[in-house]
Amino acid sequence: MRCEHFERQMWAYIEGQLPDARAFEEHLRACPRCQRQLAAAQATYRTLHALPRHRAPANLSEQVRRRIAAAPARPRFARKWWRVALAPALGVLVAAVWWGWQTPQTAPSYGIAPEDLTESLVELHEQLEVADWSPSPTPSYFITTGSTR
């Protein structure tokens, strides 16, 4: 028996409604995971059966029917308003998706020619390699650069 089959039969076993429990119990002896699962299910079963039982009033269905009959009927439009609102919303959604698909994807422009940008980034990289950076700026760094972070 596989664990999936065990899980499907577990509640029938707990309630004593499993006709042939031999295969179930053999699997249970060999599988620690299913043993834990059965123990948890049995604890749940005992807890639920320890709860007090209350009976519904004898005339409950009659009371419910009376309240439904006494409730004011909603106008026909109020029940179907969502259909009216759904059509424009779907139209806007389709238009937004279409517009997003049709818009050409371009790289952001920084106002610098690509060659100049590459040269600037290489120069910045070289400066950072040479610079003696400390993990956190010292007070003198803030004074000399005027930076306030």
Rounded to whole angstroms, how far apart are CA atoms 105 and 18?
63
Query: 10: part of which helix (H) or strand (E)?
Result: helix 3-14
Give pLDDT, residue 96.
87
Q: Which amino acid makes up residue 136?
A: S
Give pLDDT, residue 79.
60
Q: How many residues can be counted in the chain?
A: 149
pLDDT, tens digit, 9 for 90 and up, residues 90-120: 888 888 888 877 766 666 666 666 677 778 7
Rounded to whole angstroms, how far apart are CA atoms 108 and 59?
72
Mean pLDDT on 112-137: 68
Q: Which of 6 and 146 is assigned the larger pLDDT?
A: 6
Answer for the pair 147, 141: CB distance below 8 angstroms, yes or no: yes
Give the 3-state secondary structure of residue 125.
helix
Mean pLDDT on 27-53: 90
Distances from the Cα of 33 to the Cαs of 27, 29, 36, 51, in angstroms?
10, 10, 5, 28
- Residues contacting 6, CB < 8 A, separation 6+: 24, 27, 28, 31, 34, 37
* pLDDT above 70: percentage of residues in the chain: 71
CB atoms within 10 A of CB 34: 19
Give pLDDT, residue 2.
80
